[in-house]
């Protein structure tokens, strides 16, 4: 996740100056030089809009990271435990920024605790750690249900869904699945990583297994790899659980779960898939 740099400030300053000059030029062209004074509020409005988030991130990055959140990460998030001091500091920074910019709301009596917030935001920090310029799309409220839910969004025992991501709506996760997912289950299930992977893959027509950040030149090879690996899933010859064979979008989301949840097994059983994900995320998870 990006912070503000001197280059960003200079670029915004140039844009603001250009906007002010345009206002002055228009005022002179209409023979109304006094209108040129409008350049001042125009400049102020641009600066406020363009620099609000970067400067807020700078302020948040200087604040002390809550000790209770750090305890949760050390206890439950293996990825965080494996980082050095600098890596943990950046992970904590990204986690704080994510929580500041994304709303998390409980449904049906769920209390959104600090622990729950930290575990949800950890998913974003994990996925973006190797690519500091990347951002997850904003505008998606995260709704936390008490447990699994059905097609009518009713919670029930053995309901089929632990999470969903909607292109123009919220991300939904089940509280119990969030908590269990970070504790290295044998099937690598992690609902937070799964649904956030869908966000990386979300387009106007919905997810299709080709994340938006993927270089255009790599798309053909990526699709061929996905189809080859899906065939293994559907023939029962894959480490990945059967749900990965549903479609390309679910394959990508499940593969992401295994890349971060069972990386050594994934590298041993599916080295080509592991390598493609390592290049995409710009990090080794094993």
Reference 14, options 41, 50, 57, 58; nearest CA is: 50
Whether 286 is covered by a domain: the verdict is: no
Structure token pair of residue 19: 């906007």
Short-list 20, 13, 25, CA closest to 42: 20
pTM, entire model: 0.84
Residue of higher predicted confidence among 24 and 187: 187
20 domain-assigned? yes
**Same-domain pairing of 96 and 32:** no
Q: Please tell me whether residues 78 and 178 are part of one structural domain.
A: yes
Domain extent, residue 137, equals 67-281
Lowest-confidence region among 21-35, 77-91, 156-170, 250-264: 21-35
- Given a cut of 90, whether residue 174 has pLDDT beyond it is yes
Question: What does the pLDDT read at residue 137?
Answer: 86
Q: Is 80 exceeded by the pLDDT of residue 249?
A: yes
Examine residue 219 and state whether it is found in any structural domain, yes or no.
Answer: yes
Model confidence band, residue 188 (pLDDT cutoffs 50, 70, 90): confident
Q: Are residues 14 and 137 in the same domain?
A: no
Beta strands in the chain (DSSP E): 104-106, 142-145, 163-165, 171-174
Which DSSP letter does residue 238 get? Answer: -
* Percent residues over pLDDT 90 in the chain: 65
Residue matched to tokens 């493609």: 276
Q: Are residues 35 and 135 in the same domain?
A: no
In the chain, how many domains are there? Answer: 2
User: Would you say residue 146 has pLDDT above 90?
Assistant: yes
Choose between 6 and 197: higher pLDDT. Answer: 197
For residue 4, name the pLDDT band (cuts at 50, 70, 90): low
């Amino acid at each position: 996740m990006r912070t503000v740099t001197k280059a960003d400030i200079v670029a915004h300053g140039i844009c603001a100056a250009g906007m002010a000059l345009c206002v002055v030029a228009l005022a002179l062209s209409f023979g109304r030089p006094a209108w040129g004074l409008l350049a001042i509020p125009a400049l102020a409005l641009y600066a406020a809009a363009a620099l609000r988030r970067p400067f807020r991130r700078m302020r948040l990055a200087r604040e002390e990271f809550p000790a209770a959140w750090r305890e949760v990460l050390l206890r439950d998030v293996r990825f965080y435990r494996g980082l050095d001091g600098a890596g943990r500091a950046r992970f904590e920074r990204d986690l704080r920024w994510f929580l500041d910019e994304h709303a998390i709301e409980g449904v049906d009596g769920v209390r959104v605790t600090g622990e729950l917030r930290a575990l949800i935001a950890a998913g974003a920090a994990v996925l973006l750690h190797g690519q500091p310029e990347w951002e997850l799309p904003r505008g998606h409220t995260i709704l936390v249900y008490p447990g699994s839910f059905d097609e009518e969004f009713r919670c029930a025992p053995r309901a089929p869904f632990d999470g969903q991501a909607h292109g123009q709506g919220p991300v939904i996760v089940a509280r119990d699945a969030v908590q269990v997912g970070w504790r290295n289950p044998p099937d690598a299930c992690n609902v937070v990583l799964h649904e956030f992977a869908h966000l990386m893959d979300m387009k106007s027509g919905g997810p299709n297994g080709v994340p938006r950040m993927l270089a255009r030149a790599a798309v053909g090879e990526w699709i061929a790899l996905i189809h080859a690996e899906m065939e293994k899933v559907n023939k029962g010859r894959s480490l990945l659980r059967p749900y990965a064979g549903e479609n390309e979008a679910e394959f990508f989301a499940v593969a992401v779960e295994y890349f971060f949840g069972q990386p050594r097994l994934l590298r041993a059983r599916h080295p080509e898939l592991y390598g493609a994900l390592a290049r995409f995320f710009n990090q080794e998870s094993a």
